[in-house]
Structure 1
């Protein structure tokens, strides 16, 4: 069960280039997020997630906002294909007074594995990132920088209380996500970042859960020799709606 997460860490370390005079940017952030997956037929559903990220001693300034939507096709109850669009807004940093918009189409395969005393969620996501160019501290250009990014995410849920995955249950969550850039405009940071999270999950209801804990983010910036070493507090709420009639059969995939 833990092999995907251990493999992620090894891949992240292997992808780091040996460059001289490395510089490290230290940050503290607070990440807030709301996720929803709604299934409205045996085969179709939607994906929505919204994020607000703060930085400078966790809460002093806005850092980033993300709004993501998608349409999901259910191959089975445990395997899902999703394609969608995300809008990301990077708030000004340092002397810059203008924010940077990013348009991000994305595609994903997500799958779940159930064990007697654990749950494992994994996904592989491909993103096409269009980031509007910043001309100077006060102006945006008309052109966009572009690159692809692939992400592998593995989340292992281990029950702590006897209620386990039922309402009122408490779980320990270990989550790791590795991101890799590629495309013509990528020169020095093929490795983008690794996010390692450990925390607790409270099962609010059969369809909702609250996650909170600590996340360490290590990112290589485009310059190649500058790295972001980020310590974050993360609070996410997940909710699933199932709008199918209770008697509706699930058809066999064609």
Structure 2
């Protein structure tokens, strides 16, 4: 009996080892299964933007922008954006801002037969900080948006606006001067690198707390103190409401920056 007991106990070791191997195998395989279930839709877009800055004095600034965002290959409008923000200088290199965005959303599929354009209102508040070093400028931007979507039914707008969710945004930026004008030492050509992450919050957010990440690299050329042009590449990676579907968008962006200083003009008079 003793020998039989020992024999029986000894036979359990291979079983235990096999179970452990299975558990380890499944543990290592599980993330791969999740990746396999992920559906990523790749799209190509081009963005055109006009940015206007009005400086009232050293403390107050009005920032406005218009963006036309379009699919190409095939071509179709994706989004039209109007944004206006009032900015107040705080201590040292910190600013506080409050603004409103009027957002027009066309279908996410450029081949969609729908012509529905859904408006959205986005009030926001934010803080930003810039640290100027010897060889570059580091910027941090923190923003919170409240999103109000227009109701629609059967491809038609109905009713009014309804609160959707909050979105929190953090952007890290690096401005690296590549060329300075010799006589004035003004920065004329600048490499701009940015990374922004966005998180959702609200009762309707179930599987997509992570909203999106945007990585950008561009060249900014300052024509004169009032005008600058910029061209760059943006990668927009976004999780959809399902939690397993994603957009991976390659975007070419062209921007014009126009600055008006009312204080300077007043002194010139």
Shorter-chain TM-score bucket reads 0.7 to 0.9
Aligned to 1:127: 145
CA contact (8 A) 1:166 1:203 kept: no
1:24 aligns with 2:40: yes
- Looking at structure 2, the residues matched to 29 and 47 of structure 1 have their Cα atoms a distance apart, in angstroms, of 25
Bigger Cα Rg: 2
Task: Report the secondary structure of 1:83's partner residue.
Answer: strand
Q: How many residues align?
A: 230
- Using structure 1 for the length normalisation, give the TM-score: 0.82
Looking at both structures, which has the greater relative contact order when contacts are Cα pairs under 8 Å and sequence separation is at least 6? 1
Alignment of 1:36-51 (within 5 A): 36-51=52-67
CA RMSD of aligned residues (A): 2.5
Deviates more, 1:217-226 or 1:140-149: 140-149
Unpaired stretches in structure 1, ≥5 consecutive residues: 1-17, 249-254
The alpha-carbon deviation at position 31 of structure 1 amounts to: 0.9
Unpaired stretches in structure 2, ≥5 consecutive residues: 1-33
The alpha-carbon deviation at position 23 of structure 1 amounts to: 0.9
CA contact (8 A) 2:167 2:201 kept: yes
Structure 1 residues 21 and 105 mapped into 2: Cα distance closer, same or farther (>3 Å)?
A: same
1:220 aligns with 2:239: yes
- Using structure 2 for the length normalisation, give the TM-score: 0.77
| Partner deviation per Cα, 1:16-72 (whole Å, 9 max, x = no partner) | xx5762111110000111122222133322121111100132x71110001011222
> Going by fraction, where is helix more abundant, 1 or 2?
2
CA contact (8 A) 2:148 2:161 kept: no
Structure 1 residues 69 and 139 mapped into 2: Cα distance closer, same or farther (>3 Å)?
A: closer
